[in-house]
Amino acid sequence: EEALLPPHSVFLAGFSQGGALALYTGLLRNTPLAGLVVMSGYLPRSTSFLVQMKKTPVLMLHGHADFMVPMPFAKQSVHILQDQGVDVVFKSYPYLAHEVSEEE
């Protein structure tokens, strides 16, 4: 017997490009998820992206010392999503580079 989780109990999470994919796929769904967690990520195709699922909350975590995905990319993504009605919480870390830390 197969056990399936309902979408409202599923989180998508990713780091860097994985975070970009989590944002992109999670916000294009037609049913809400429990949430999206994006570490050192960004919204791909941000200037033309149209959110389909505004009910999925987003947590974005980013380091000021990240030179692989610069902070302005993350902040632009946050503003685009918030302007489209997505609930986004953004947390930044002063000395974090393109990496994951226990503090996150």
Which residues are tagged catalytic? 16, 66, 98
All residues at 6 or more sequence positions from 4 whose CB lies less than 8 Å from its CB, including other chains = none
Identify the CA nearest to 57 among candidates 93, 8, 21: 8
Which H helix or E strand runs over 15?
Answer: strand 11-15
The span from the CA of 16 to the CA of 78, in Å, is 15
